[in-house]
Structure 1
Amino acid sequence: MKFVDEATIDIAAGNGGAGCMSFRREKFIPFGGPNGGDGGRGGSVFAVADRNLNTLIDYRYARRHEARNGEAGRGSDQYGAAAEDIVLRMPVGTIVRDAETEEVLAELLEPDVPVLLAKGGDGGFGNLHFKSSTNRAPRQKTPGWPGEQKKLKLELRVLADVGLLGLPNAGKSTLITAISNARPKIADYPFTTLHPNLGVVRAGPERSFVVADLPGLIEGAADGAGLGHLFLRHLQRTRLLLHVVDMAPFDGADPVALAKGIVKELRKYDEALYEKPRWIVLNKLDMVPTEDRAALVKDFIKRMRWKGPVFQVSALAREGLDPMVQAIYEHVAAHKVQAPPEIDPRFDAPTPVAMAEPADD
């Protein structure tokens, strides 16, 4: 399936039905009163997050979504029927913006919770609505109110706990394959990953987190070079960034210079993203002679002036992965926002009422 994380659509809620002007006409009733009913309400447009969806590809091709209009009122006190609402199902993590004002209308973070995007118009009033003791034969009626129409910009930001960051061909896809259930495309050339991949990592019974693999970054990514800058938005909801560094580049480049270039691009793109917790994963150490690994890692940390966590792994050989996975889970679990416990009103202790002290005689 093609991964699409942006789309622009037009939505239109239904118009309200017009009110009816009618009078009762029956045999032997020469002065029948008004009996024109009100119009029905137009259909509204709602958005709902669906955990079974992971792309906005449906909205790339279906760009116009309209709800039906409400029915007009009729005589004999008959009100018009309200139109059905339409529900647009989108992936969890979708941000809905007004395309003209850039105002954020909704952020779909909870599945199956409907969010109103465009309200349907109310129905018009029939002359039955205007009947009173002083106006027994009203000839007023009103048309239905128009429904809202909007042009929306949809932007998907995947919900992942951990994001993989690094140069193309640094081994990010191999790493996510080794630690999770994701199966991205893996090849021996750069830019193999063309869209984000999500994987669930199990750290033990009832212990899991979600990791996202993004296309690699290159120098100038913040200015539009390569593919990585198109998907950096997906890292903005993560709790931890794993900077994957290739310790055995095929062209003999300096890993420290390459790693500093990635950090520089990250900071140019978004300062808040740069300030996120970031750990370094030194990958492909199986390609470094055993007697040279310790000195190479020590030199890397010294020249990077790095004081955070560092993990020495080989994603291909599955070496050093379990300690890293356990440490990541502990960090993610410690920073998750716990929902406040629900209070059962049946067992809620009543608030004591202060008693007035008796007056002295």
Structure 2
Amino acid sequence: MKKMLVVLLVLGCGLVGTPANASTSAWTASWGTAPTQQWDAQPQTTVRNVVHLSVGGNVVRVRLSNLFGKAPLVVDRATVAVSANGTADIVAGTLRTLRVHGKARLTIPAGKEVVSDPVPLRVGDEATLLVSTYVADAPGEGTIHPFAAQRSFVATGDHAGDATGGAFGATTDFWWYVTAVDVLGPRVRGAVVAFGDSITDGVGSSWDVNRRYPDVLARRLLAAGKRMGVANEGIGGNKVLKDPLPGQEWQGPGALTRFDRDALGRAGVHTVILLEGVNDLINAPATDPAALIAAYGELKSRAHAKGVKLICATVLPYKGFGAWTPQAETARQAVNAAVRAGACDDLVDFDAVMRDPADPEQVNPAYVQGDKLHPNDAGYVLMANAIDLADL
């Protein structure tokens, strides 16, 4: 492969999330990913998407997307189940059919998303779910998230209802069609959205073991007794100020374009952690830092209009990466100075904890990949530990 309760059918490109002050019985995003582009869809194929929840609940609902499709997408069958140890096998008694308005065969118009009816399914904190979609007659494009740091499973034919994974002889590095899993459960206190670029997305983290910084943050929250969902809305290559050029759709719409959908539209969102800007600097070293700072201010105003808190992160150093220039470094320092001066409601200083004491313009070699830009597993732990849980 190249490589509810309330019933809701989304009529726009995003779904307005539950208000930040909602009760603990409100829907909460437990997992999320940002759709980025269309990809050559495969007919007569079942994708068994592997998604790792942050917080558990007693009822779930799943969002399926045809956001970037150019024709209606018919999902002939969709299911959700608990994975047996992260495999394509299903824990006995947990397989559920996904329906919208009671219908198991789902038609998603081009440019739209749907949210399933509520599914009674008890899932634990940090449960791994399998969201399986069978599409018999795929249109030309399928909406995906291209970098998952998680291998999902693929089978030819309709195997969405299989209890075992024997038919799933292939894998995919993408998440197909699924963009969110929300839960209802006791004592859940809303959701945190980690919004950003490839560093939030988890590029450089180990595959299939959930070591992105939002994953580590979710575990910290649970350990501290703060039952909050965490949704990862990072996209590799994402910029703040610009949408992608043709042929670069994998970078996703720019932050200013997608913020309302991918951040403020997540269920129960209470706080957004914004880590964006490095791709604006890398791809256009002459970027005026004032433009990025103004964009942060606009995102802050949008968040406040929805009752959501915006925490801005300082941009990590990246000297040694091929696109680094002294001019871009000056702009990065100006952006970080504005964040530290109060550009957002609060801040997390990733720059301060990740930089090399011997050369503050680069990341500490102990915490970065060979590209000098993306953290390694230890770096992502350091980033998650730098976030003050009291601010969330």
TM-score, with normalisation over the residues of structure 1?
Answer: 0.36
Q: Larger RCO: Structure 1 or Structure 2 (Cα < 8 Å, ≥ 6 residues apart)?
A: 2
More strand by share: 2
Larger Rg: 1
